[in-house]
Every structure is written in C-alpha cells, then in structure tokens.
Structure 1
C-alpha cells in the first residue's frame, strides 16, 4: 500500500521570519476598525499574521514594536503581554500533548 504524503500548510512567523507548520502557530488579526486580537480559530476576518510558539520572540517583539510595523497601527503593551501568555500556554500544551491540531 502506497502512503500519500500530505502537504503541510506552512506560514511565516512575522517575529522571526522563519517558516513553521500552520498548526504550530498563533494567528493575530487586525479588524477593519484597527483592533488587534488573537485569533485562536483562524477564521476572524481582517488582516492576519502568524506568530510561532516562542515566548522569547514575543518579548523581543514587544521591545522592538514589531507588530506595530506589521499591522501599521499602535499595539498596546497589554496586548503583547496577553500574546506572551497565550503563546506560552500553547507551547506548554504542545510540549505536553504534541500536535495541537489533533483531537484528543
């Protein structure tokens, strides 16, 4: 029986410029009103960008204001803190359970 290799969707991390599988990333979105939010479903409408599961990259992004450049809008320090907590939690889950996309 021949196994067919499935193509894994890849996305570029806006914080590190590295490519990762989409399932191992967090989507951030800017809506039409300019609000920035975390998009755990990946389905919110607006300008989206992907961030890898690297809490240290989020800390560095906060100091360099990388998301302001990506979204061309002001991003509050509180959002970076929220993103850090979310990424840190998702990374811990992935370390514990493996692929986040699998149903357990």
Structure 2
C-alpha cells in the first residue's frame, strides 16, 4: 500500500512546520472577527497554531496574532486560544492521533 502524503502547515507562533492534524486554525472573517476554527473550513484569512500552550502565552505578550492578521486581537481571545490549545494537547497526549483510521 502506498504511503499517503501528510499535509504540513507552518505555525505562525514558532515558524515551524507541523502536520495539519496537529494544529489549530485561527480565522479572521470579512467583518474582522477573529475566532478559532476547529473544523478548518470557515471562510476567511486563516493561520495555524501548534499545540504548544507556552507559545500561545508568548504570543500574547508579543502580540504576534496582531501582526499576522494586521488587526487588533482582544486579550480574552488569547485566553480562549490558550484553553483550547491546552485541551487539544491533552487529548493528543491521552489518545494519540485521533485522526488515524485503524
């Protein structure tokens, strides 16, 4: 059986490449609202963040997402993103790759 190509994306917080399944998509829509996109299908300008809660903490102080989206990002969004990333990382550590088909 042929090996499948794994789609890779660059983490905007660390500038490292990771498999798309191990990342969280953040999207800015036409109205300028920034939100977490767990499905990866929301319309708008997207950016990917790895499952590293420490990188999210550093991004909050360095205002990295403001630079990426050229738009103001509310302080509470960083807290929401931290909680989401921390939860996803815990799930990944506990269950492994949830996207694998057996």
The answer to whether 1:36 aligns with 2:34 is yes
TM-score (structure 2 length as normaliser) = 0.96
User: What is the aligned partner in structure 2 of residue 18 from structure 1?
Assistant: 16
Root-mean-square deviation (Å): 1.3
Deviations 1:23-49 (A, max 9, x none): 000000000000000000000000000
Cα distance in structure 2, aligned partners of 1:75 and 1:46: 15
Cα distance in structure 1, aligned partners of 2:83 and 2:100: 22
Aligned residues: 102
The list of structure 1 runs, each at least 4 consecutive aligned residues, that deviate by more than 4 angstroms after superposition, is: none
Deviations 1:7-66 (A, max 9, x none): 000000000000000000000000000000000000000000000000000000000000
- The runs of 5 or more residues in structure 1 that have no matched partner are none
- The runs of 5 or more residues in structure 2 that have no matched partner are none
Cα distance in structure 1, aligned partners of 2:35 and 2:97: 23
Cα distance in structure 1, aligned partners of 2:39 and 2:28: 14
User: What is the aligned partner in structure 2 of residue 69 from structure 1?
Assistant: 67
